[in-house]
Amino acid sequence: MEKYYEIKTLAQVLIKSLKLYGNNFIFGTTGAGMAEIQDAISVEKGIKWIQALHEFTAISSAEGYALAKNRTGIALIDRIVGTQNSIGALYSSYLNMAPLLVLASRDIPGTHLLNDPTSHYSSKHLDIIEPWVKWANNSQSEEMMEEDLSKAFFITQLEPKGISFLTLRHDLMQKPYDGMAIRTKKFYYNKRLPDMDTVKIIGDKILTSNNPEIFVSHAGRNMEYVDTMIKFADKFGIGVKERRYFMSFPLENPMHLGFVPRMYVPETNNDDLLLLFEFGILPGNAFPVDKDIIDFSTEFVRRRDIYSGGDYGSSNLFNSIDIECDLGPTLELIMKKTEINHIENEAIENRRASVREKHEKLMKDIETMAAGDIEKGILTDNSIGYVLNEEWKEGMALVNGSIKSYNGLNQQINLNTPGTFFSNPSGHLGSPVGMAYGTFLARNEEEYLSGVKNYKPVVCITGDGDAIFGNITSALWSVKHYGLGVIYIILNNGSWAIEWPYFENTTEKYIKNSKDTQFIDLDNPRIDFATMAKGFSIDSYSVKDISELRDAFRKAIDSAVKGNPSLIDIVLPKFNVN
């Protein structure tokens, strides 16, 4: 039973309120501006503090938790400097539609701060973070704190899900508690659905098209929508292609037709109807003008269903129908209201059979690609993914932070359960290493809090450039300190290889012609991530061939189940240009 304690400060009211809203973890860093809040955490034993060594990683870990738990994650950062350090992670969380409540301490001139001469006086937090949050506020008073929290929690979960950001005055957190009631609010979220005329038009278009195809990007972030998408694709005999940021459609499902590029418009061939499920495209791109397009999105600007979306949002505006809706309930409504006659049913069955034939060929091609590399004994995205898939255990999850090897790994690691795959659609380097241990805590919360060490490991695959950008050292310290069963796999090719195509396409092509790779070079010295991990007393492996990878991954899984993290440094040949 939780020990009773007397509430004495408003900081304790804050932490008690967070607990009453159902939160068990706060992800954060330590700073002088948050001492009162951390003082309150130390007596509210129902909330576990998860320390990061950098604000970027603190936000990223809360992001991973929020996505994997599908509930609001809480992060606490220190004043204006901590806010500045976290900007990239806030952007990543924004593009992932992660429901986050970020709390930042704040000192303002003229307040009594217990004779602290090191206070950072600033009220400019909101100017910095405004583009990447749904709602932000400087919490000013005891009377408003309850309303601020209630509003913040509601907004994070309202579609499109996202970030609420509150600053908390240090002097307000120090204020004595006057006995006011601590209240929380239960929220109800209405579903946004198209009108019945629109539903009929969509149903008619599907039934009269010859070659419809579904493209999906972010929709699997709502895990309950995945089963609906499966039923929808099967009911109407429509093939599905993913830009996999979440596990939006099972790879083994016979309606799955593979993965599409993140930054480019997918090939549509003879498709005559495109159904876009939260699938935007970058400015400057466009689907062919002769395609009939129905665009289902959760927001009218479509800023968050594309890669590195920024402010502009999707360029895909010239569609037959644009719908702002909640996807799952909308698809359920279309299925329910669309009547299929005998002739239409026969056409659907023919389409279904054709899609299944394409799927079988795809799966054979995927297997063949891996088999060729395995036979040659070389480490490629296909052979690495194949080996990992062979050893993969039920319940494990993947955070894929790789860039150059992204789709190659995705097509080999056969994940079919919603909530087992997460990634980084923002293009901002570094988020995955923190996301991985937040994801681990979300997927193992009950076992972790009860001390039962029989965990479902989380695997984080990322490149050497992304890892070193992303405060890998902060993540390594946290996973070791808290006993989190995360397996970090670094694809180490001594280069930001993904950047080379830009140099190939410069105006004069001096770099391409001279093969001058200095601008993407991470070699000499090659970063030794295995040795880095040893510095944190983490089991680590430096592997250079397939058999070493298989052996290391087996050992890492056995350790992760018990709460012992590992790092596998896959040492690849240095990236070279032809």
Looking at the structure, tell me whether residues 388 and 350 fall in a common domain: no
Please check whether residue 372 lies inside any domain of the structure.
no
Q: What does the pLDDT average to over 381-387? A: 97
Burial class of residue 150 in the structure, from the number of CB atoms within 10 Å of its CB (0-12 exposed, 13-18 middle, 19+ buried): middle
Q: What is the pLDDT of residue 112?
A: 58
Boundary residue ending a domain (323, 356, 389): 356
Instruction: List, for residues 266-300, the tens digit of each pLDDT value.
Output: 999 999 999 999 999 988 888 998 999 999 999 88
Q: How many CB atoms lie within 10 A of CB 198?
A: 17
List, edge to edge, every strand of the sheet that includes 48-51.
Answer: 48-51, 25-28, 73-77, 100-106, 163-169, 135-139
pTM summary value? 0.95
What range does the domain containing 305 cover?
Answer: 196-356
Looking at the structure, tell me whether residues 88 and 165 fall in a common domain: yes
Gap between the Cα atoms of 273 and 278, Å rounded: 16
Q: What is the pLDDT of residue 56?
A: 96
pLDDT exceeds 50 at position 520:
yes
The distance of Cα 377 from the centroid of its chain, to the nearest Å, equals 32
Looking at the structure, tell me whether residues 423 and 559 fall in a common domain: yes
Looking at the structure, tell me whether residues 158 and 215 fall in a common domain: no
Looking at the structure, tell me whether residues 271 and 132 fall in a common domain: no
Looking at the structure, tell me whether residues 303 and 406 fall in a common domain: no
Q: What does the pLDDT average to over 297-313? A: 86
Instruction: List, for residues 1-22, the tens digit of each pLDDT value.
Output: 345 568 999 999 999 999 999 9
Please check whether residue 5 lies inside any domain of the structure.
no
Rounded to whole angstroms, the maximal C-alpha distance in the chain is: 82
Q: What does the pLDDT average to over 499-512? A: 91
Q: What is the pLDDT of residue 293?
A: 96
Quote the tokens at residue 522: 């991470």
Looking at the structure, tell me whether residues 19 and 152 fall in a common domain: yes
Please check whether residue 533 lies inside any domain of the structure.
yes
% residues pLDDT > 90 (the chain) = 78
Gap between the Cα atoms of 338 and 534, Å rounded: 60
> What is the total residue count of the chain?
578
Instruction: List, for residues 36-75, the tens digit of each pLDDT value.
Output: 999 999 998 889 999 999 999 999 999 999 999 999 999 9
Q: What does the pLDDT average to over 224-244? A: 97
Gap between the Cα atoms of 156 and 341, Å rounded: 43
Confidence at 111, pLDDT banded by 50, 70, 90 = low
Please check whether residue 510 lies inside any domain of the structure.
yes
Q: What is the pLDDT of residue 477?
A: 98
Please check whether residue 180 lies inside any domain of the structure.
no
Instruction: List, for residues 524-567, the tens digit of each pLDDT value.
Output: 999 999 999 999 999 999 999 999 999 999 999 999 999 999 99
More confident residue, 3 or 475: 475
Quote the tokens at residue 158: 């309202």
Sign of the torsion angle spanned by Cα atoms 484, 490, 496, 500: negative
Please check whether residue 97 lies inside any domain of the structure.
yes
Looking at the structure, tell me whether residues 432 and 489 fall in a common domain: yes
Looking at the structure, tell me whether residues 299 and 381 fall in a common domain: no
The CATH number of residue 290's host domain is 3.40.50.1220
Looking at the structure, tell me whether residues 163 and 261 fall in a common domain: no
Looking at the structure, tell me whether residues 213 and 350 fall in a common domain: yes
Looking at the structure, tell me whether residues 164 and 203 fall in a common domain: no
Q: What is the pLDDT of residue 578?
A: 75
Instruction: Compute CA distances 156 → 67, 325, 441, 475, 557, whole Å.
Output: 12, 17, 20, 25, 34
Q: Are 57 and 392 in contact (CB under 8 A)?
A: no
Please check whether residue 267 lies inside any domain of the structure.
yes
Quote the tokens at residue 187: 């929220």
Please check whether residue 208 lies inside any domain of the structure.
yes
Q: Are 15 and 34 in contact (CB under 8 A)?
A: no
Q: What is the pLDDT of residue 114?
A: 58
Beta-carbon-side half-sphere exposure of residue 298 (alpha carbons within 13 Å):
26
Helices (H), 392-451: 406-412, 431-443, 445-450
Q: How many CB atoms lie within 10 A of CB 29?
A: 22
Boundary residue ending a domain (174, 204, 235): 174
The CATH number of residue 18's host domain is 3.40.50.970
Beta-carbon-side half-sphere exposure of residue 192 (alpha carbons within 13 Å):
13
Q: What is the pLDDT of residue 3?
A: 52
Counts for the chain of helices (H) and strands (E), in that order: 22, 18
Number of domains into which the chain is organized: 3
Boundary residue ending a domain (321, 356, 391): 356
Gap between the Cα atoms of 568 and 515, Å rounded: 30
